[in-house]
Amino acid sequence: MHRHARTPSLLLALCTAVALAGCDAVRPFEAVCERRLGPTSVHVTTTPVSYTTDFSRSIDDLTARGAHSAGTIVLGLVETQVRSEAKFGLNGIKQSFRDRYCMRPSVDVRLAFAPMRLFVAREHPEGSCGFRVTMEHELKHIAVYQEYLADFAAQIQVDLGHELGDRILYFASPAAADTHVEAVIAQTLQPYLEGVREEVEARQKRVDSPEEYARLSAMQNWCARR
């Protein structure tokens, strides 16, 4: 889910109507912008992964929710979705009596996997041997989400920085600048947000390797004999 907040701030380059031509000659608008505008700021941060637990569902329920192939029995499961929030401000100068506006933006993006729920089947009650085996495995999946989130943020930081640059941008009005920055953020984030599921599933499959499934099966059989 993508939300944005617009917080434009304006610094007016003032010249009187009578002295406008002379003012521009001494202090061209571009020079004023170069001198007064701070650098472009892009910050992409993440919310640390946290989760709630649900140990009330049956094996059949979890299998129906999480099995990716026939014959797979699911004893534990992690469910979540990605969320993004973007806020930006416009550090800009409007030229008096003319339709010219220069700016460098300040952008803050926060990414999170939330809400996140970890399920363990009720047939393996909390504290049991089978519960501990399943919980250990599911925590590996949660670690993958945390690792991916950091990589995700780093990629967006680079791409947004590249798209916005540190150059001064010129528009006819603050509203036009606002629209531009909003569009750049949306266009940069959208491909990543659309590709999250596929990328995360690919990483999670490395956790659910044949070797890991064999180990889990052996451990659960050992627990059942105790």
**pTM value?**
0.81
Q: Are 104 and 38 in contact (CB under 8 A)?
A: yes
First to last CA, the chain: 47
Domains of the chain, by residue range, sit at 2-225
Beta carbons of 45 and 129 less than 8 angstroms apart: no
Mean pLDDT value across the chain: 87
State how far the Cα of 132 lies from the Cα of 135, in Å rounded to an integer.
Answer: 5
Query: Does the pLDDT at position 9 exceed 90?
Result: no
The C-alpha atoms of residue 100 and residue 189 are separated, in whole angstroms, by 29
Q: What are phi and psi of 170, to 5 degrees?
A: -115, 135
Q: Are 73 and 63 in contact (CB under 8 A)?
A: yes
- Cβ-Cβ contacts under 8 Å for 19 (sequence gap 6 or more): none
Q: Which pairing describes strands 2-6 and 76-79: parallel, antiparallel, or unpaired?
A: unpaired
Any residues with CB less than 8 A from the CB of 206 and at least 6 apart, and which? none
CB distance 121 to 59 below 8 Å: yes
pLDDT tens by residue, 137-175:
999 999 999 999 999 999 999 999 999 998 999 999 999
pLDDT value, residue 69: 62
218 pLDDT band (50/70/90 cuts)? very high
Query: Rounded CA gap, 121 and 137, in Å?
Result: 13
CB 82 within 8 A of CB 113: yes
pLDDT at 1: 36
Average pLDDT rounded to a whole number, residues 22-39: 78
Contacts for 175 with CB less than 8 Å, ≥ 6 apart: none
For residue 89, is pLDDT > 90?
yes
**pLDDT tens, position by position, 44-74:** 999 999 999 999 999 999 999 987 665 688 9
Q: Looking at residue 15, what is its pLDDT?
A: 33
**In terms of Cα–Cα distance, which of 84, 159, 74 is closest to 114?**
84
3-state helix, strand, coil in the chain (%, to 5): 50, 25, 25
